[in-house]
Amino acid sequence: MDDNEIREVIQMYFDACYEGSGGKMSRVFHDAAHIYGHDENGAFNDMDKNFFVGLVGSTKPDAPKTEYPRQNEILAIDFTGDNTAVARVKVRVFNTLFTDMLCFMRLDGKWSVISKVYSGVNVE
């Protein structure tokens, strides 16, 4: 199967993370998407798309992004069916390097993330 469309969505995801763009992040995730992980205190997080997009977009426009190197990598993309896939990626957001499992579905002819499970480590 051709993974180019999924790679394009992942690149938009990387750009949205680096730029703090809620608008781009909104285009990456399906409206029914959920994001799961643990916060810095170990508490379980379950965010819906709107909350997550708002969180990403809340980055202050004057945040010193150049202070933090852009670091992102696609580790694997696996098709689990004609309309489903899973991607494992690494992406740095400020001082945290995240490993994300992005679950994709193709709905109405378009690939989007339906769920994300993340973990992060401090890279200061």
pLDDT, residue 74, reads 98
pLDDT, residue 2, reads 85
pLDDT, residue 98, reads 95
Q: In the Cβ-directed half-sphere of 10, how many Cα atoms lie within 13 Å? A: 23
Q: In the Cβ-directed half-sphere of 108, how many Cα atoms lie within 13 Å? A: 3
The mean pLDDT value of the chain amounts to 91
Mean pLDDT along residues 38-62 = 86
pTM (predicted TM-score): 0.92
Task: Give the number of other CB atoms < 10 A from CB of residue 80.
Answer: 11
pLDDT tops 80 at residue 60: no
70 or 85, greater pLDDT? 85
| Domains (range + CATH), the chain | 4-122 (3.10.450.50)
